[in-house]
Amino acid sequence: MNDSVDALPRAGRPRSEQARRAVLEAVDDLLVDVGYAAMTMKGIAERAGVGRQTVYRWWATKAEILIEACVEDAEEELSVKPRTDPEHDLLAYLTALSGFLTSSPAGIAYRALLGEAQHDPAVRDLVRAADPLAPSARRVLDRIRPATPGLPDEPLATAQLIGPVLSHALIAAEPLNTATLRRHAVGLLTAWR
Amino acid sequence: MNDSVDALPRAGRPRSEQARRAVLEAVDDLLVDVGYAAMTMKGIAERAGVGRQTVYRWWATKAEILIEACVEDAEEELSVKPRTDPEHDLLAYLTALSGFLTSSPAGIAYRALLGEAQHDPAVRDLVRAADPLAPSARRVLDRIRPATPGLPDEPLATAQLIGPVLSHALIAAEPLNTATLRRHAVGLLTAWR
Amino acid sequence: MNDSVDALPRAGRPRSEQARRAVLEAVDDLLVDVGYAAMTMKGIAERAGVGRQTVYRWWATKAEILIEACVEDAEEELSVKPRTDPEHDLLAYLTALSGFLTSSPAGIAYRALLGEAQHDPAVRDLVRAADPLAPSARRVLDRIRPATPGLPDEPLATAQLIGPVLSHALIAAEPLNTATLRRHAVGLLTAWR
Amino acid sequence: MNDSVDALPRAGRPRSEQARRAVLEAVDDLLVDVGYAAMTMKGIAERAGVGRQTVYRWWATKAEILIEACVEDAEEELSVKPRTDPEHDLLAYLTALSGFLTSSPAGIAYRALLGEAQHDPAVRDLVRAADPLAPSARRVLDRIRPATPGLPDEPLATAQLIGPVLSHALIAAEPLNTATLRRHAVGLLTAWR
DNA sequence: ATTTAACCGAGACGGTACGTCTTGTCTTATA
DNA sequence: TATAAGACAAGACGTACCGTCTCGGTTAAAT
């Protein structure tokens, strides 16, 4: 990619970066203030101080805005620094994941999007394409692979790693406690060695 | 509770069982035909050939109707007959669960409700109260407990059992294949023995 | 007519006469306050304290509302009491007509409708069907007919009677003065005797 | 004013005559194709292949464009060559006027403008200032004045002459037939001799 | 057998978000 | 400086659904 070079100067007024930022921030604010269901395109435009047409020009649905607003944050919040032994490595990741899904604005946005994906196939495709959890999970699994010869192929390894944490977050909207997460990490290593 | 005994025959016209059935069936039909998002209280009433007030009199939201429409089916579809050895017992359950979540109308309804629960705390509470998955999971776990001394306490055991299958269904809307499910069952037994 | 007998009681909540009156009065007010061009369906609904759907349910355009609001008034304001001699009869009518077109709210509404009719054939048809000026003109002409054997057939007689007054109102938005109106009446009688 | 002499060559790019012509022609076309109400500044710019700002730079409203587009045509189409006797002179003029108002693009534009003038005082002032009908009417009246000692002062004479034709065109959007026009001419001469 | 009360359908009510359209202004690169 | 292109904030458009209300009519238990 080399957008700055390829970008030929198009005719007409260029897109306002200020308006783009205002919309993304408005979505973040509204998700926290009123929740996903009560968030409307009209409300987003008003909160952002932006015309409604400007929102519709660049995003078709609130899900599209939300996914753009949270992907970067997700990647950053789930990048845990490597530990020396596999158990601590897994535990650090599972802790970050559990906190992300239950406390972080980006994680709450992810849950909302995954919820909307159950209602709307278009949102499902967006979420699968963006896939905010998989990269970080894959990195952890790659790190522990030398110590886990029984590690299954995808998608099972990732599902076994994040599935229990994600499901609990979706059903209970609460984090699993640290002892439980450690127990889960140990169980995975037992199964995978 | 003992509704059938306490229920003193009130004055006035009794509730129409016919209207109740029509609404529940309309919800099932509409979920398949147009999806959860496009399903409206107005549409449900029209499809059921019922006044809108009649719907609102008995259910506050479409989620309430949907949960009433699917809970019984869920319990039935996830009740697998016991197998003699733990691996086959787990595999039978995981297969039923995976099919339920991706193919069964009741399972699709459950996913829709779990999705809505991410947007609306009231729906979350409804889903947690009804809890269509946990009883069947608990029964399987109880059966294999003698052979799995390392079985963790709740909620981890259930989360490890159903989490990977549920997460995959929610993200991909596709079942895990049989080989993967068997691999998962074997992994669980390895971790839990 | 016998609406009260013919009117079969339809199912459902009956139309609210209160809402109907509120809309018609809001239109009258707004025409005076902001003018026809700045009058919007949204504004009418808000001024009337009525839902927008309620307006659209009964009227397709603001022109339809306006015509319903002014037809009755027009008929009443243009009914002048007969005079004994033709000249005074004509003069009384021309004076009423000139004042109606330039001062009366109903007359201003009529001018607005006739203006809109130049832009929209549907409005033209509405105005022609309602035809607020013709009945009163016809009554005056019928009264003076015995004294005016040279009275032309329709539509010329009416056009000669009201055309000069109407045209002046449309172009100048001012009434013709009394002397001019008398001169016009005398001219008509000279031509028609 | 003497634009052609005083106009010192201003700095910068001069106004594009091509763009001006394109706009005026687009307005004529659109009035016929879609009508006055559906004609928008945006649509005019697009039909003319011209930037929207260019339209707004030179005209404030579509009425201003329309009046510039039609005044000259009106003057030309209503200039009938003198006849020897007053009746034929009047009839020729009335026939031209009736056709102009109901068939000519410039006449349809005039009716649209007179319609808009009922909604917008600014347009009324524009129309009165341009006054496309009065000059031609005055010329005819001046020609027949020697034969009509009873010709009233303005504005009655003009109103009596054109009012019936104009009113009928505005209300019915159809021309008066030749016999009726002749009857009107005769009536005027009877009243005015 | 009548009364009574809650049910039923239909559909209008005030309200509000939808996604589209046009308004008049502005900000680009180009001529 | 004028131009074509096109993004901008604002706000009306007509439609859909929300949850409530008000009708006429039905049904079955209680009088």
**In 10 A of CB B184, how many CB atoms?**
25
- pLDDT at position C71 is 87
CB-based touch A/C (3+ pairs, under 8 A): no
Compare CB distances from C115 to D118, D165, D172 and report the shortest one's residue: D118
**Closest chain A residue by Cα to residue B159:** A164
Give C73's pLDDT tier (boundaries 50, 70, 90).
Answer: confident
Give C188's pLDDT tier (boundaries 50, 70, 90).
Answer: very high
End-to-end CA gap in chain B: 40
Amino acid type, A154: E
Nearest nucleotide to B39, CA against C1' atoms: F17
Structure tokens at A42: 């009209």
- The predicted-structure confidence for A44-67, as pLDDT tens digits, reads as follows 999 999 999 999 999 999 999 999
Compare CB distances from B118 to A111, A165, A191 and report the shortest one's residue: A111
Note whether B162 and B110 are within 8 A (CB): no
Q: Is the CB of A16 under 7 A from strand F?
A: yes
Inter-helix orientation angle B178-192/B156-172, to 10°: 160
Task: State the burial class of residue D130 (Cβ atoms within 10 Å of its Cβ: 0-12, 13-18, 19+).
Answer: middle
Phi-psi region of C30 (alpha: psi -120 to 50; beta: other; left: phi over 0): alpha
Q: Quick one: DSSP state of residue A51?
A: -
Taking every pair of Cα atoms in chain A, the longest distance, rounded to a whole number of angstroms, is 62
**Closest chain B residue by Cα to residue A158:** B164
Q: Go through B122-153 and write b for each residue having 16 or more CB atoms within 10 A of its CB, e for each that does not.
A: ebbebbeebebbeebbeebbeebeeebeebbe
Calculate mean pLDDT across residues B160-177.
96
Residue nearest F9 (alpha carbon to C1'):
A51
- Per DSSP, helices labelled H in C61-155 are 62-77, 86-102, 105-117, 121-130, 134-144
- The predicted-structure confidence for C15-34, as pLDDT tens digits, reads as follows 899 999 999 999 999 999 99
Compare CB distances from B156 to A114, A115, A180 and report the shortest one's residue: A180
- The predicted-structure confidence for B51-90, as pLDDT tens digits, reads as follows 899 999 899 999 999 998 888 788 889 999 999 999 999 9
Nearest nucleotide to A19, CA against C1' atoms: F8
Give A137's pLDDT tier (boundaries 50, 70, 90).
Answer: very high
Q: Is the CB of C8 under 7 A from strand F?
A: no
pTM for this prediction? 0.87
Q: Quick one: DSSP state of residue B80?
A: P
Provide, in whole angstroms, the distance separating residue A58's CA from nucleotide E24's C1'.
Answer: 22
Provide, in whole angstroms, the distance separating residue B51's CA from nucleotide E20's C1'.
Answer: 33
Structure tokens at C122: 């549907």
- The predicted-structure confidence for C118-176, as pLDDT tens digits, reads as follows 999 989 999 999 989 999 999 999 999 999 999 999 899 999 999 999 999 999 999 99
Note whether C11 and B51 are within 8 A (CB): no
- Angle (CA) B1-B5-B10 rounded to 5° is 105
**In 10 A of CB A22, how many CB atoms?**
18
Compare CB distances from C160 to D156, D164, D172 and report the shortest one's residue: D164
Provide, in whole angstroms, the distance separating residue B157's CA from nucleotide E9's C1'.
Answer: 51
- Per DSSP, helices labelled H in A103-177 are 105-117, 121-130, 134-144, 156-172
Calculate mean pLDDT across residues D81-110.
95
Residues 59-98 of B with CB under 7 A from strand F: 61-62
Q: Which of C98, C92, C121, C129 is nearest to C111 (CA)?
A: C98
Verify whether the Cβ–Cβ distance A156 to B164 is below 8 Å: yes
Residue nearest E10 (alpha carbon to C1'):
C12
Q: Is the CB of B9 under 7 A from strand F?
A: yes
Residue A31 Cα distances to A22, A105, B127, angstroms: 14, 8, 22
